[in-house]
Structure 1
Amino acid sequence: IRREKRQFVIPSIKIPENDAGPFPKHFTTLRATGKSKPVRFNVTGPGMEQTPDGFFSYNPNTGYLYTTRPIDREKTPRVQLEYFVYNDQGTLLEGPKRLTIDILDMNDNVPEFASQIFNATIPENAAYGVSVLQVSAVDRDDPSTPNGRLVHSIVSQSPGVPFAKLFTINGTTGVISTAFGLFDRELVDSYTLTVQATDLGGRAGALSASATVSVTISDVNDNPPVFHHLQVYGEVKENTTDLNVTTLSVTDRDEKFTPNWRAVYKIQNGKTEALVAIKTDPQTNQGIVSIIKVVRFICLHKSVLT
């Protein structure tokens, strides 16, 4: 029966990332169990002869391990080495033994938004608590530590009409929602928000990043057309047709050139519906009143339409 040699696992060693040195810097010493005579060590693995190489060096006689340059935790969060113990004749005494090196995170990464500008649209009749969009950021630092723990906030809103805080944001998820149901496109048709993501849970000394959110308020049909004049007059000569008689003007505060704004004119009563038509001017929204049939004075000399 062939037995596999048992691996000895040593508790992990922790070293800080971005250590400034001076290098080489001693950080631990390898041990040979119960050996009083001189021994030699051989260490292999990432950071030694394997990629990423050049992080560590060691003294084969003393077992001293050194860092040789700064280590970026975001690229190399953990290294696992193996070492062997030999006597001076080259006979293996111990090993392989596993040595785990954890790189301790430092707050060296600024939060990042997926975009510097976010765009969203909500209807002007949006109620309280309506979700607008999510603007969550990421931080390359260790998310299990305060260094990678982000808090989202709204820094400013422009314009501050009718209130300065019409929106709220979930500090953890970055979801922006309406804080009030008080939007009026005819008053303000868009808002600009500055949002911020801050690490360290928002504590002092934190790193932060900002982004802009543009919220467009879309129109709903909440404004009726209003006539400029309640009465208008027009004259035509008899035996006339295809002639514009007068115009009807209205104001509608809904968004121009949309169905909510476009006026449709209808004759509700009168004795000349078959003689008169009203078409809407697509640019001005005016109603163009025209004669579509020949009018004879003997038949009709005056008519009132509503």
Structure 2
Amino acid sequence: VLLDFTIGFHVEVKEWDENGMVRWKTFRRQKREWIKFAAACREGEDNSKRNPIARIRSDCEENNPITYSISGVGIDSAPFGIFVVNPRTGEINITSIVDRELTPVFVIRCFAKHSLTGIDMEQPLELRVRVLDINDNPPVFAQTVFTGSVEESSMDNTLVMKIIATDADEPNHLNSKIAFKIESQEPSGAPMFIMNKYTGELHLANYLDREQHSSYTLVVKASDRDGAADGISSLCSCNVKVLDVNDNFPTLAQSSFSASISENSLSSELLRIQALDADEEFSDNWLAEFYFLSGNEDNCFEIVTDRATNQGILRVIKELNYEHLQTRSLLIGVRNVAAFHHSVAHEYQMSGTPITIEVKNVIEPPRFHPSSIVFSVPANTRANYIVGTYTATDEDTGTIASNVV
């Protein structure tokens, strides 16, 4: 047996006839072949001028009547009728505009059947028609408005937020390669942020002071084709809130304070002491905490903070005695409820603000000291016997009261 595959399946068989003579009998089967090609189609264009975009042919048609047919998406599956085939020639034509974002590749199953018997003359052929991308999709942001925050006094290059956008054009292609850029900043001035062109990460570029600007609004542009002039662009807004830190020391509205109170009385609000602080209102960074440095060793006073006004309310919680001390001198300090930020904590200096309290004298009735006394009287005491002496004290002078009835 001789096998030859060069031009087909060639078999020669050696036989002996009835007379014992040797002869060679040859069997030939030509190699069946699908002849095919497929041109790529460009989306959004009339590709019919390139028809036929593909051609199929089986070499079985040399000896048999062949009918060609095709099947698949774009043919007998939605979207229908994009591709048609000439059943006699095997030429495949495109009839309508295609969209790569809907179908990036059309897989066409090709059949060659005997025209009379309908028997498959070949194994089905899979023909792939690639749809070429055009830049017909703009970048799309994941959100219309992005919101982020960053603490004031943060270090340069601190990550603020990440902007996300996608492009429906062909992946890993220039048409879908997005470049980000900050278009504008409000309030304007020195650029406070930088944008990573490829990742969309927004970083801090400058020193932020919340007391100067508490927020920024940025307009960010995303452009495909790596930001080239012929790319398609989209815009979004980014709102950045500057978070407060306790980087401002509280101060008092006056360099000194004074008040007066009558002796032997209490007061729930003797004096209001206004604290000033540039940090965020009503936060612990702004709220004042008052304390005594001197003058309140006997704990006659206390200071509480009015959280609505940030005022210290000086109270008298023990009665004061004019005869003991006519003027009380207090020295107070102020700090915040929150600890000072590490960037300024080392600069804080404890300083006192004086408060002078005048104690007013009032006319006081004589008082007995002690308030009660016991005398012993012998038995059989005669009338007018002096049991003892119990004198009252004039509280204003500290001497024995006169004219006491």
TM-score scaled by length of structure 2: 0.69
Whole-Å separation in 1 of the counterparts to 2:51 and 2:269: 95
Whole-Å separation in 1 of the counterparts to 2:33 and 2:140: 42
Q: Which amino acid aligns with 1:41?
A: Y
**Paired residues for 1:134-213 under 5 Å:** 134-161=162-189, 163=190, 165-180=191-206, 182-213=207-238
- Contact kept? 2:37, 2:54, Cα under 8 Å: no
Which one has a bigger Cα radius of gyration?
Answer: 2
Deviation at 1:12, TM superposition (A): 5.1
Whole-Å separation in 2 of the counterparts to 1:9 and 1:99: 11
Deviation at 1:284, TM superposition (A): 1.4
Q: Which has the higher relative contact order, 1 or 2, with Cα contacts under 8 A spaced 6 or more apart? A: 1
Deviation at 1:214, TM superposition (A): 0.5
- Contact kept? 2:36, 2:55, Cα under 8 Å: no
Matched, 1:131 2:156: no
More off after superposition, 287-296 vs 231-240: 287-296
Matched, 1:281 2:309: no
In the other structure, the counterpart of 1:53 is: 80
- Contact kept? 1:47, 1:55, Cα under 8 Å: yes
In the other structure, the counterpart of 2:317 is: 292
In the other structure, the counterpart of 1:14 is: 40
1:141-187 deviations in Å (ceiling 9; x for gaps): 002221111111111111124x1x2111111111111122x110011
Q: Which amino acid aligns with 2:58?
A: A
In the other structure, the counterpart of 1:102 is: 130
Matched, 1:270 2:295: yes
SS in 2 for 1:280: strand
Deviation at 1:204, TM superposition (A): 2.0
Q: Which amino acid aligns with 2:199?
A: T
Q: Which amino acid aligns with 1:232?
A: F
Aligned with residue 301 of structure 1, among 326, 329, 344: 326
1:234-266 deviations in Å (ceiling 9; x for gaps): 001112112422221221111110001000111
More off after superposition, 224-233 vs 190-199: 224-233
Aligned with residue 251 of structure 1, among 255, 276, 284: 276
- Contact kept? 1:267, 1:273, Cα under 8 Å: no
- Contact kept? 1:24, 1:69, Cα under 8 Å: no
Whole-Å separation in 2 of the counterparts to 1:23 and 1:118: 46
TM-score scaled by length of structure 1: 0.90
**In structure 2, do the counterparts of structure 1 residues 148 and 7 end up closer, same or farther at CA, with 3 Å as the change threshold?**
farther
Whole-Å separation in 1 of the counterparts to 2:164 and 2:197: 9
SS in 2 for 1:201: helix
Instruction: Show structure 1 runs of 5+ residues with no match.
Output: 1-5
Aligned with residue 30 of structure 1, among 34, 43, 56: 56
**In structure 2, do the counterparts of structure 1 residues 101 and 304 end up closer, same or farther at CA, with 3 Å as the change threshold?**
same
Q: CA RMSD in A?
A: 2.3
Instruction: Show structure 2 runs of 5+ residues with no match.
Output: 1-31, 332-405
In the other structure, the counterpart of 1:117 is: 145
**In structure 2, do the counterparts of structure 1 residues 191 and 273 end up closer, same or farther at CA, with 3 Å as the change threshold?**
farther
Matched, 1:223 2:248: yes
Count matched residues: 298
Q: Which amino acid aligns with 1:86?
A: K
In the other structure, the counterpart of 1:80 is: 107
Whole-Å separation in 1 of the counterparts to 2:241 and 2:226: 31
In the other structure, the counterpart of 1:3 is: none
Whole-Å separation in 2 of the counterparts to 1:235 and 1:149: 76
SS in 2 for 1:264: strand
More off after superposition, 99-108 vs 79-88: 79-88
SS in 1 for 2:294: coil
Whole-Å separation in 1 of the counterparts to 2:60 and 2:139: 50
- Contact kept? 1:254, 1:260, Cα under 8 Å: yes
